[in-house]
Amino acid sequence: MAVLRPRVHFTARRFWLNDPNGLVFAGGRYHVFFQHNPRAGNHGYMSWGHASSVDLLRWEEHEVALPWREGQDVFSGSAVVDWRNTSGLGGAGDGGPPVVAMFTGNGFYHQAQYLAVSRDGGATWAFGPPEPVLDEGKQDFRDPKVFWYAPGEYWVSVVVHPDERQVGVYTSPDLRVWSQVSVFGPAGGVAGIWEVPDLFPLEVAGQERWVLKVDVFEGGPQGGTGAQYWVGDFDGRVFTPSQGARWADVGKDFYAAITFSDLPQPGRRVWLGWLNNWVYANHLSTQPWQGVLTLPRELSLVPDGPEWALAQVPVPELEALREEPLALPDGQRVEVGEGVPLDLTLPLTSWTLQLLSAGGEEARLWLDGGSLHLTRAAPQALEDFAGTFSAPLPDAVGEVRVLLDTCTLEVFAAGGRLAFTQLLLPHEPISALRLSGVVGRGWTLRPTQAP
């Protein structure tokens, strides 16, 4: 089996990668930190890997930002620019405001929240005070997502209580002293533990609505892990949902998404996630890299009957990578080349798209009867990967956008109300397409990562 490294999705140079962490714009660059084992291709010695970009697409990997320390893993968390230096962690020079990360320190049957700081715009990092800033004496208490709540002029952090299926809401004047002000849950999907919460506002119809996202370890839309969200209101202390839980992505492989902090465009909200599923994540053979992040996605809320739906589409910066136009005549095999990333546009009618290698069909995507379907194969030894996965399409007009990047498939439809994310494990590299039932179009994409 030959699995090519994705060319426009971020992967670490070597070894294990899972949750994105500390997404922040600082020092004129977008920073992505990520759960990383710098020693091997499995989950262990957890540290914060680090990459940065000027355009959300071309990522430069740096040295490990927050390394594993004896007796303590550096688990997931978030980062913010402390513009007012409320934390007192800023330096005496002219390096600008400190960038502060809040992360989970994972010790022996104990998890608590700690701080780290960068005084040069996110380029280099140091651990903060040795003591935790938020500790409830629990074995499982993790994944803090921090933001500045401007109406109250204080910090808010949402931290998950996994076993209880709850999200705790905490406030702080300085990122150092935290007080719990409310708890949300259990609610929605509770079959598995909860992880990686995020809470953020989106403006719609001239009003501010809030979205609370939390991941589930079991009971996802295609089995295994998944990401659910609620739309509602937040008064700085309590999140109150106005509608029931929904899935953020109805594919098999979308987890641990969090949003960027301090983006330079007011009101813009962008997130990315881990393109994987814990059901089989530890058993994929793609060395020397192991794990891939989704493309960055821009978020909005759109009407869906009497409720609101979270819409997500690839960031518009991706269009700058488009190179050769691609025509997909009905029923004809179109050669695209091994490992060439593709951006396809298909109509919202019935069709079948075969993903082909020199050896035959590697996967099949089709739209029929108002539902989207994908069939993918896998090595016999890998359980729960192969099969057919389906999702109903929302009632809408528009087109279907398909992003194919060697072993990743991200599909968006109905104006972004449907996102359908899947890993592929082709036996041979995909090199051709056949679209049947309609005529499609698209582009090849300029790679941003070395093969």
Could you read off the pLDDT of 115-143 as tens digits, one per residue?
999 999 999 999 999 999 999 999 999 99
| Calpha distance 194→228 (Å, rounded) | 10
Residue in the block written with tokens 């990997």: 61
Q: What is the pLDDT of residues 412-429, one digit of tens each?
A: 999 999 999 999 999 999
Output the pLDDT for position 1: 53
Residues involved in catalysis? 19
pLDDT value, residue 93: 65
Query: If pLDDT is split at 50, 70 and 90, which confidence band does 285 have?
Result: confident
**Chain segment 435-450, per-residue pLDDT in tens:** 999 999 999 999 998 8
pLDDT at position 280 over 60: yes
pLDDT of residue 2: 58
Phi, psi (degrees; rounded to nearest 5) at 319: -65, -20
pLDDT at 236 exceeding the cut of 70: yes
224 in Cβ contact with 264 (< 8 Å): no
Burial string for 429-439 (b: 16+ CB within 10 Å, else e) reads: bbbbbbbebbe
Cβ(418)–Cβ(391) below 8 Å: yes
Q: What is the mean pLDDT of residues 218-245?
A: 98
pTM score > 0.75 for this model? yes
pLDDT digits (tens, 9 = 90+) for 71-99: 999 999 999 999 999 999 997 666 789 99
CA distances to 39, 211, 373, 395 from 64, rounded to whole Å, are 11, 31, 39, 45
pLDDT band of 384, cuts 50, 70, 90: confident
Contacts of residue 383, defined as CB under 8 A and 6 or more positions apart, other chains included, come to 279, 280, 283
Across the chain, mean pLDDT equals: 96
CA distances from 96 to 21, 26, 92, 150, 190 (A): 22, 10, 9, 20, 43
Nearest to 440 by CA among 373, 356, 352: 352
**Buried b / exposed e across 325-347, counting CB within 10 Å, b at 16+?**
ebebeeeeeeebebbbbbbbebe
Token output for 92: 């005496």
Residues 210 and 239: their CA atoms lie apart, in Å, by 8
Q: So what's the pLDDT on residue 273?
A: 98
- Count the residues in the chain: 451
Cβ atoms of 29 and 263 closer than 8 Å: no
* pLDDT for position 378: 87
Q: What is the largest CA-CA distance in the chain?
A: 66
- How many Cβ atoms from other residues are within 10 Å of residue 207's Cβ? 9
